[in-house]
A and B are shown apart, each in its own frame.
Chain A
Amino acid sequence: MLSEFDLSAIYLTFKLAGLTTLILLIISPPLAWWLARSKLFFRPFIESLVALPLVLPPTVLGFYLLLSFSPDSYFGGFWMQLTGSGLAFSFSGLLIASIIYSLPFVVQPLQSAFVNLDKNYLEVAATLGFSPTKTFYKVVFPMTLPSFIIAGALGFAHTIGEFGVVLMIGGNIPGETQVLSIALFDHVETLQYEQAHLLSFSLLAFSMTLLILIYGVLQKRQKRLNNA
């Protein structure tokens, strides 16, 4: 069976992935909307910045994050003053890193959904007197709901699987920063293959179930739309 050590890692991983996804689903829609609609000259720059974690080795990102988390840096110092504790090797630091690392996985599906959203419906909403907020909740969100589901699922799954960044900034503190992927690495390093098998298979089964559920729901919806 899974040891207490493993269960604590699993709990921490889900807590991290859940919080990361929640925060990303709050900050990504406005960002994706802006990226989809803005004609400002510096938009490509912001767009590249968001996409950077897709191409950068996680260790590079982790290294720069580690530097900025140091209490000697502006950001790290500011955080220290604000909260009284450091960011490096803490859960908060891990959360910030995860948000940055998983950002493109949530922003990009939303951005492409917003780009493809028929502008005619937004015009109708305006002529019906809807405020931008009402237009978002009553028109944009329901019409792009599948993309929100995909974005959330990708953000969640990607956070569960992260390793390099965690290794650089989180270290390996049980109950604080020791997530699943790190615990698994630990088991292999110490030749506890049985534990490693159990953990790996649990993660594999979970990921597969999650994806089947999401794509199944999306397919049903697509079928309904096609038949209608």
Chain B
Amino acid sequence: MPKSIFKAQLKFNLKKQGLFDFVGQISTQGICGIFGDSGAGKTSLVRALIGLDNDFMGEVLFNGQVWQDQHHFVKTENRAIGMVFQEPRLFPHLDALGNLKLALHKNSLYSIATLATLLDFEMLLDKKVAELSGGQKQRIAIARAILTAPQLLIMDEPLSSLDKHSRALLLPFIKQLAKQIPILYITHSMQELFYLSSNMLLINNGKIEAIGEPQQLFLDSTLSLVKHAHSGLLLTVEKLSWDESHAMLQGEVDGQAIFLTIDKMIGEASLQIKIESKDVIIATEKFPHSSLQNCLTTTIEQIEHLSASHILLTLNLGEQKLLAKITVKSLLQLKLKVGLSVFSYIKAVSIIGETS
């Protein structure tokens, strides 16, 4: 039997008169991020997909099964999905264990005990729901959704209101979980999106604007994402090593060395950083006598006018891209043009860790 559980095909065409028009097809393997501004329709889309809103007309197909078409409407309880809402929504008349036991399905990949260890709530099982903090409740709510043995897990901004401990625990856990259960992950956090997902659905104004890799979509100036991108892009730093003598983390961005200040060595081989476009300084010659540590050799790929005084440069690092916001005056002084190779000095870097 093919292990279809690892890969899901979701095809949909859903309309609500004058409000929403969602058309798309995703082949989710791992996590598909659903990104968009508040009010764009992210939650409306997933509610329609799982059948909680039956005012939508159209079709939904999941792995070849019809969930909705002109003549059929499979009820939510028969769609084999798991859902983590923005709020935990634990049943108040049961304790934590009672909530989990009620949801447990015989085909669940995890036992209650395993999830209790992984999500660090072993000590909370006999607690009443009202005695738990928001973060504790949400961890149990996530475990509850996983215990139903879903073929598709939907998470609606599950970390948006959580404490640091819960976020640090949950982000890597969700990333691991996606190797076994495909996940649709709603977020408005660029950090979460880049950390978790390999694929994204961009929602804007009640429509699916684009589907693709986050890195690519954020660089596409024809999309509504461009306003997020203007402030800076995320880069992946690989081959991390700890530079003992300077107490800094050393890594590579597309083969070029970069140094990061961080408290301690981290366990992973790669991490993501965000470089704000205003923190990039462009030079046509190296200037070694400065305190700036990070210099990347880049090629100008695109010059875009933002206003009468400012322009945005798209700089190619090889595979990844960097954005720099500079003044028109600098552009003219340095005689910058597309194709020119320049040195990009980085003033500040923020590290997107699990605790971001």
- Find out whether the CB atom of B91 lies under 8 angstroms from the CB atom of A228: no
Partner of B103, one of A120, A128, A131, A225: A128
- Find out whether the CB atom of B131 lies under 8 angstroms from the CB atom of A128: no
Q: Please, which residues of chain A bring their CB within 8 A of the CB of B52?
A: 123, 126-127
Task: Give the contacts of A121-147 with B (CB-CB under 8 A).
Answer: 121, 123-131, 138-139, 142-143
Q: How far is the CA of A116 from the CA of B75 in the complex (A)?
A: 23
Closest chain-A Cβ to B46's Cβ sits at a distance in Å of 11
Instruction: Tell me if B340 counts as interface (CB < 8 A to partner A).
Output: no
Q: Please, which residues of chain A bring their CB within 8 A of the CB of B102?
A: 128, 138
Which of chain B's residues has its CB closest to A138's CB?
B102
- Find out whether the CB atom of B93 lies under 8 angstroms from the CB atom of A129: no
Closest chain-A Cβ to B346's Cβ sits at a distance in Å of 45
Instruction: Tell me if B76 counts as interface (CB < 8 A to partner A).
Output: yes
Q: How far is the CA of A120 from the CA of B141 in the complex (A)?
A: 13
Task: Give the contacts of B104-156 with A (CB-CB under 8 A).
Answer: 105, 128, 130-131, 144-145, 148
Q: Please, which residues of chain B bring their CB within 8 A of the CB of A127?
A: 50, 52, 76-77, 81-83, 145, 148
Partner of B80, one of A120, A129, A131: A129
Closest chain-B Cβ to A192's Cβ sits at a distance in Å of 51
- Find out whether the CB atom of A129 lies under 8 angstroms from the CB atom of B85: no
Instruction: Tell me if B329 counts as interface (CB < 8 A to partner A).
Output: no
Closest chain-A Cβ to B303's Cβ sits at a distance in Å of 49
Instruction: Mark each residue of chain A from 137 to 165: 1 if its CB lies under 8 Å from any CB of chain B, else 0.
Output: 01100110000000000000000000000
Which of chain B's residues has its CB closest to A127's CB?
B83
Instruction: Tell me if B337 counts as interface (CB < 8 A to partner A).
Output: no
Q: Please, which residues of chain A bring their CB within 8 A of the CB of B105?
A: 129
- Find out whether the CB atom of B148 lies under 8 angstroms from the CB atom of A142: no
- Find out whether the CB atom of A121 lies under 8 angstroms from the CB atom of B77: no
- Find out whether the CB atom of A126 lies under 8 angstroms from the CB atom of B75: yes
Which of chain A's residues has its CB closest to B144's CB?
A128
Instruction: Mark each residue of chain B from 313 to 330: 1 if its CB lies under 8 Å from any CB of chain A, else 0.
Output: 000000000000000000
Known contacts A124-B91, A139-B91, A142-B93; A228 and B85 CB within 8 A of each other = no
Q: Please, which residues of chain B bring their CB within 8 A of the CB of A123?
A: 52, 76, 85, 89
Q: Please, which residues of chain A bring their CB within 8 A of the CB of B80?
A: 129
Known contacts A131-B77, A228-B131; A124 and B85 CB within 8 A of each other = yes
Instruction: Tell me if B92 counts as interface (CB < 8 A to partner A).
Output: yes
Name the residue among A121, A124, A139 with the largest chain B CB count within 10 angstroms: A124
Which of chain B's residues has its CB closest to A125's CB?
B77
Partner of B128, one of A121, A128, A228: A228
Closest chain-A Cβ to B163's Cβ sits at a distance in Å of 21
Which of chain A's residues has its CB closest to B128's CB?
A228
Closest chain-B Cβ to A121's Cβ sits at a distance in Å of 6
Closest chain-A Cβ to B78's Cβ sits at a distance in Å of 8
Closest chain-A Cβ to B103's Cβ sits at a distance in Å of 5
Closest chain-B Cβ to A143's Cβ sits at a distance in Å of 5
Q: Please, which residues of chain A bring their CB within 8 A of the CB of B81?
A: 127
Closest chain-A Cβ to B41's Cβ sits at a distance in Å of 18
Q: Please, which residues of chain B bring their CB within 8 A of the CB of A120?
A: 85, 87, 89
- Find out whether the CB atom of A128 lies under 8 angstroms from the CB atom of B93: no
Known contacts A143-B91, A228-B130; A126 and B77 CB within 8 A of each other = yes
Closest chain-A Cβ to B258's Cβ sits at a distance in Å of 43
Task: Give the contacts of A187-228 with B (CB-CB under 8 A).
Answer: 225, 228
Q: How far is the CA of A143 from the CA of B92 in the complex (A)?
A: 8
Closest chain-A Cβ to B75's Cβ sits at a distance in Å of 7
> Can you list 30 A-B pairs, Cβ within 8 angstroms, ordered by A?
A121-B89, A121-B91, A123-B76, A124-B85, A124-B91, A125-B77, A126-B76, A127-B52, A127-B76, A127-B77, A127-B81, A127-B82, A127-B83, A127-B145, A128-B82, A128-B102, A128-B103, A129-B77, A129-B78, A129-B148, A130-B77, A131-B77, A139-B91, A143-B92, A143-B93, A225-B92, A225-B130, A228-B128, A228-B130, A228-B131
Q: Footprint of B on A, CB under 8 Å?
A: 120-121, 123-131, 138-139, 142-143, 225, 228
Given contacts A126-B75, A129-B105, A228-B131, 6 further A-B contacts (CB under 8 A): A120-B87, A123-B89, A127-B83, A138-B102, A142-B93, A225-B130
Enumerate the 4 nearest inter-chain pairs by beta-carbon distance, A residue then B residue, closest first. A127-B83, A228-B130, A126-B76, A142-B93
